[in-house]
Amino acid sequence: MKLGGFCGSVVRPPGLCQLKRPRSYFTTETQNTQSFIENYDIGISSEFELMQIFPVSEGAFTVDKTKVFVPFDTATEQLSTRPAGSLLVEIQPFAVITSKDIILFDTGLGYNDAEGRFRLHQLLRQAGIDPNKVTKVLISHLHKDHAGGVSVKSSSGERFISFPYATWYVQRREFEFATGAGTASYITEDFALLEHFSRVAWLDEDEGMIDNYIRYQLTGAHSKFHQVFWVEEDGEKIFFGGDVAPQLQQMKNRFIAKYDYDGRKCMELRQQWWEQGQQEHWTFLFYHDIKTPVWDGK
């Protein structure tokens, strides 16, 4: 596994990891776009045999019982200054480059920066990835910190799909549940455009395969119809457990969280995946981990 975009276990301030990137994945500001297109049909380098992982962090946040995500500067702030019971989390989609695709796992909170630019697009460009080259978006569930970036809101208030050239893989039952849930965890306007978007591949089964190398499985546990993904290529396996497996420390400890739909099932699945993943040498992607976004057992 090539971890050129992996920050390791070093504490870092909110924002994008400083990435070492293979030359052939640079798409803007560093390479000629025409040359990139001529060499790679969808922006994939033929000179790399291993998958590339890029944590695309929107930053660190605290969240309490109000379910409001408040920015947190790990370099200057203390968690004790936030309301009792606050959790400290990273909001961290992942881009994974394979021989076939540029895959995005979840879409973050989806906010615009001070200049009105869509932050997730800016972060991808900083990582050397052209957002228009993303070919697949895999959604674990539609809570607002994972699906806030499904759509982009313009200055006029109009909304547009954030990655219009990608195919979106969304659990249909999660979408149907989320649109009628009426809870603070879901912001329907963020993802409502998916319903009629032509490039959505609705996942209706409890498990299945995508293009013969990506496996999905409906888990429930965190949200009622949460799903997880494995990407396997050339003997390497990446696992994205969404919010059932959001942090490294949660994999190592047995506990039941009150914020999960089924906390006991979450605990049991984490234990199962942790044992299996170590035996089979999975690379884990941790969406909410402040220190360790990627773990490969090394």
Report the candidate in 135, 159, 156 with the shortest Cα–Cα distance to residue 147. 159
* HSE (side-chain half, CA atoms, 13 Å) at 22: 20
Rounded to two decimals, the pTM is 0.85
- Digit-coded pLDDT (tens) for 31-57: 333 333 233 344 444 444 579 999 999
Residue 178 confidence (pLDDT): 96
- Identify the architecture of domain 23-295 in CATH: 4-Layer Sandwich (3.60)
What does each of the 298 residues of the chain score in pLDDT, given as a tens digit?
Answer: 555 454 433 233 333 333 333 333 333 333 333 333 233 344 444 444 579 999 999 999 999 999 999 999 999 999 999 999 999 999 999 999 999 999 999 999 999 988 889 999 999 999 999 999 999 999 999 999 999 999 999 888 899 999 999 999 999 999 999 999 888 899 999 999 999 999 999 999 999 999 999 999 999 999 999 999 999 999 999 999 999 999 999 999 998 988 888 999 999 999 999 999 999 999 999 999 999 999 997 6
Give the whole-angstrom CA distance, residue 26 versus residue 30.
6
- Spell out the domain ranges in the chain: 23-295
**DSSP per-residue letters across 196-265:** G-TTEEEE-SSEEEETTTEEEEE--SSSTT-EEEEEEETTEEEEE-TTTS--HHHHHS----TTSTTHHH
Phi-psi region of 172 (alpha: psi -120 to 50; beta: other; left: phi over 0): alpha
Residue 255 confidence (pLDDT): 86
Residue 23 confidence (pLDDT): 30
Question: H-helix or E-strand containing 61?
Answer: strand 59-63
Residue 50 confidence (pLDDT): 76
Residue 49 confidence (pLDDT): 53
Residue 294 confidence (pLDDT): 97
